[in-house]
Amino acid sequence: MTPNKRLHSTLNRHRSLVSSQSYDSAVRRIVTNHTPSSSATMQQGGGVPRSASSRTKAREERDSYSSITPRGSETVKQSPKTTGNSDNSKYDYSDKFFEEQKTLVVATASMQLKSKDHPQKLRKVVEDLVRSQGYDRRIAAISTACEMFDHNHEGMHNLELEQGAAHALSKLLAMAASEDEIRMVCSALEMVFRGSPKCVHAAYERLPANFLMLLLRLLGRCESGIMTNAAVSILNIWRIFTYLGRCSLLRASLCRLKGISAALVSESNVSQSECRVLRMRFIANIANCDDNKEIVFSSKEIVGSVLRAVNYDSSDQVRYYAAVTLAELASSAGNQKRMVEDDALLVTLVKMILVEGVNSTRESAITAIQNLSYAKENRLPIVSFKEGIVLEALKQTLLSSSNDPKTMRRAAGALTNLASEDTCEIIGNHQGLLNTLAIVSYKDPNSEVQSRAALALTKIANGVLFHMDCREALLNALVVASLSKTQNNVAAVLRVKAREPENREVLMNHPGVLDTLCDMCLSDTVAKSDRDNAVRTIMHLVNEDKNRRQMCTSAILDALTTCARFQEKDLVGARDSAIRAMERLAIEPANRPFMARHPGLLTIVASAVEREAEREHVGERSEYGFLAKPLLLSLLVAK
C-alpha cells in the first residue's frame, strides 16, 4: 500500500516547525507559507520534537511577569537608532542590526497571519486534538496547537476555550506517553488559559474531575527530579494554577484541593524567581476569599512560607504578594486576634513598613495593621507592642512617604482605627506622633491625605483628657492642624473640650487657641460648621468667671460681631451664640466700657434687640431667654 504522502508531509511540517535546532528557518517558513522537506524535520532518538520546551524558554526570556494577567497585543522590540559606523555611513549594516530587523519582521508577520485566519483554523486544530490517535499524530496535533495558541490576544484565547481546546488538551494530558508530550501539553494548556477569568471558569467546569489532581501529581514528579526539562513544566503548571486562581468562584475549591498545601510550601524550585512569584500570587488569590481566610491562616506551613518570603526573598513581586496575603488574612475577624498574638508576624509587618522600598508592598503591610486594629481587643496590644514600635513605624511612614499618598492614607487610617479610650494616652505620649499628624494635615500636598491625618488627630484628641501628660502636645497639634485649608473638625474638638468647666481655663491660656478660634470666625473660606463650632467654643470659654477679663479683647469682639451679622439659615445658631457670648462678657462690669466703644458692636446688639422683639411679639420662646435688650442697656450706661 502506497503511504499517504500528504499525511507524512503534514507530519514532517509540524515536526520541523517545532524543532529547536531550526527555529529561525521554521519562522521564515511560517511567514512564507513554505512547506519544508522531510529530511530536515526529524529529531534524533525517535523523532520527538522539542518545540514546546524551546518555544516556552524563548517566551520566558521575552515576556515579563505581566504574562500572568490577561495579556494584550504583543509588543515587538523596536530597532535602535543608528549612530553610524567606522565608515561614517548613516546606515548600520552590522549583523546585529539585521538580526533585530529580522525579529521585527518575522514577529509582526507571524502575528498578522495568526490573527487573520485564527477562527477558521481553530476548529480543525481542536478536532485534530480530539481525534488524534497514536503517538506521532498526537505530537503533530499538539505541535500545531502550540503554534496556534502561542499569542497574547485575550479574545482569541477566549474563543479557544469556548471551542473546547482546554478540554481536549486535558484528555491528552491524561494519556501522555512521554515526558516531552507532557511538557508540550502543559505548554499548550498554559497558553489557552490566558483568557479572561470568566471564560477560564466556564472552561474549567467542562474539564475532567481529576484534572487538578493530575496537575499536582505531575508537579510532584517534576519537583522530585524524575522528569527531564522539569523546570518548564513546573512553570507552566503554576501558571495554570494562577490563571485558575483569578476566578473568584474557584478559590474555595482550590484551597480545599488535596495536596495543594504541600505544593505551596515546597522548596524544591526556590531558585526559579517566576515560580516563586506564581506560588505566592496563588496563595494571595485563594486568601482573597472569605471562606478561605481562616483555613489558610490555620496552616502553619503556608503562613511560615509567607513570612519567610517577606523577610528573605530577593524578588520584589514575591514580597509584594506575601504582603497582600497577610493583609487579606488580617481582614478576617476570625484571624485578627490570633494574628496579633503572633509576635513574629507583627515584627514582620513592622519590618516591611520600616525597611521595604517598594511602595505597594509597604502599603499592604500597613493595610494589614489597619485591618488588625478593627477589633477593639487588638488595639491596646498593637499600640503597646515592643514599646510602641508599631506607632513609630506608622509615624515614619507619614514623615517619609510624601510621594506616595496611598500609603500615607493607609497609615493615617491605621492610627484612626487604633485610637480608642484605652489607647489615646499611649498614642498621645508617643514622641512626635501628634506633631507629625498635625504637620501632615496642614502641609501635605494631597488634600485626601490632609483629611485622613486630621481625622486621626481629632479622634485621638477625643480620647485625651486634660489631666494627661500629652495635653500640651495635643493642643499644639490642634492649633497647627487648624491652619489646613481642608475641613479638619478641630473646632468641633475644641468645642467638646470647652464644655467641661475644668478645661476652659487651660484652653484660654494655651498659646494659639483663641487666635485659632477668632480666625475661624472671621474667615469666609472656613466651612460653616467650623465657624459655628468656633463661636460656640468662645461662648463656652466666657462662661468661666476667670476667663472673662482676659478674653475681652479686640480680636474676640471682632470675631463675635462678625458672627452676630450672619444671615444664612445654617448660621442662625452661630449668630445667637455670638450674642450670648457678648452678654456673658458684659457680666464683668470692667468689660462694658471697652465693649461699648468697640466699632459696630452697639449697632449689632441693637439689631439683635429688634429681632428678639419680633420673636417675642409672635409668642416665640427662647431656650436661653432674650438677652440682647439687657445687654444693650448695660452697655449704654457703661462709663
Burial code (b: 16+ CB inside 10 Å, e: under 16) for 351-381 equals ebbeebeeebbbbbbbbbbbbbbebeebbeb
Residue 467 inside a domain? The answer is no
> Is pLDDT above 50 for 88?
no
**What is the pLDDT averaged over residues 27-41?**
38
User: What pLDDT, on the 0 to 100 scale, is given for residue 386?
Assistant: 93
Residue 569 inside a domain? The answer is yes
User: What pLDDT, on the 0 to 100 scale, is given for residue 118?
Assistant: 64
Q: What is the DSSP letter of 544?
A: S
Nearest to 166 by CA among 117, 200, 122, 143: 200
**What is the pLDDT averaged over residues 457-482?**
95
C-alpha cell of residue 242 = 494562577
> Is pLDDT above 90 for 162?
yes
Region of residue 527 (phi > 0: left; psi between -120 and 50: alpha; otherwise: beta)? beta
pLDDT mean across residues, the chain: 83
Q: Tell me what percent of the residues of the chain surpass a pLDDT of 90.
A: 68
Spatial separation of the C-alpha atoms in residues 332 and 398, rounded to whole Å = 26
User: What pLDDT, on the 0 to 100 scale, is given for residue 6?
Assistant: 38
Mean pLDDT is highest, among 113-122, 171-180, 251-260, 606-615, for 251-260
> Is pLDDT above 60 for 344?
yes
When pLDDT is cut at 50, 70 and 90, the band that residue 225 belongs to is: confident
**What sign results for the dihedral spanned by CA atoms 612, 618, 624, 629?**
positive
Nearest to 254 by CA among 222, 282, 280: 282
pLDDT tens by residue, 59-82: 443 333 333 333 333 333 333 333
pLDDT tens by residue, 404-451: 899 999 999 999 999 999 999 999 999 999 999 999 999 999 999 999
> Is pLDDT above 90 for 341?
yes
> Is pLDDT above 90 for 190?
yes
Residue 332 inside a domain? The answer is no
User: What pLDDT, on the 0 to 100 scale, is given for residue 577?
Assistant: 93
* End-to-end C-alpha distance for the chain, whole angstroms: 134
For 227, the 3-state DSSP assignment is coil
The answer for residues whose C-beta is within 8 angstroms of residue 560's C-beta and 6 or more apart is: 521, 535, 538, 578, 581, 582
Spatial separation of the C-alpha atoms in residues 240 and 232, rounded to whole Å = 12
Q: Tell me what percent of the residues of the chain surpass a pLDDT of 70.
A: 80
Spatial separation of the C-alpha atoms in residues 605 and 594, rounded to whole Å = 15
Residue 301 inside a domain? The answer is no
CA 223 to chain centre: 33
User: What pLDDT, on the 0 to 100 scale, is given for residue 65?
Assistant: 34
When pLDDT is cut at 50, 70 and 90, the band that residue 100 belongs to is: low
> Is pLDDT above 70 for 85?
no
User: What pLDDT, on the 0 to 100 scale, is given for residue 624?
Assistant: 67
User: What pLDDT, on the 0 to 100 scale, is given for residue 132?
Assistant: 86
Spatial separation of the C-alpha atoms in residues 11 and 36, rounded to whole Å = 11
**Environment class of 496 (CB within 10 Å of its CB; exposed 0-12, middle 13-18, buried 19+):** middle
**What sign results for the dihedral spanned by CA atoms 607, 609, 610, 611?**
positive
When pLDDT is cut at 50, 70 and 90, the band that residue 398 belongs to is: very high
Q: Which range marks the domain in which residue 587 is found?
A: 489-639
> Is pLDDT above 60 for 621?
yes
User: What pLDDT, on the 0 to 100 scale, is given for residue 270?
Assistant: 64
> Is pLDDT above 80 for 12?
no
User: What pLDDT, on the 0 to 100 scale, is given for residue 120?
Assistant: 75
Residue 556 inside a domain? The answer is yes
Residue 19 inside a domain? The answer is no
User: What pLDDT, on the 0 to 100 scale, is given for residue 227?
Assistant: 74
> Is pLDDT above 60 for 5?
no
CATH number of the domain to which 612 belongs? 1.25.10
- Weakest mean pLDDT among 107-111, 561-565, 616-620: 107-111
Nearest to 143 by CA among 108, 191, 96, 111: 191
Domain count, the chain: 1
Residue 527 inside a domain? The answer is yes
Residue 575 inside a domain? The answer is yes
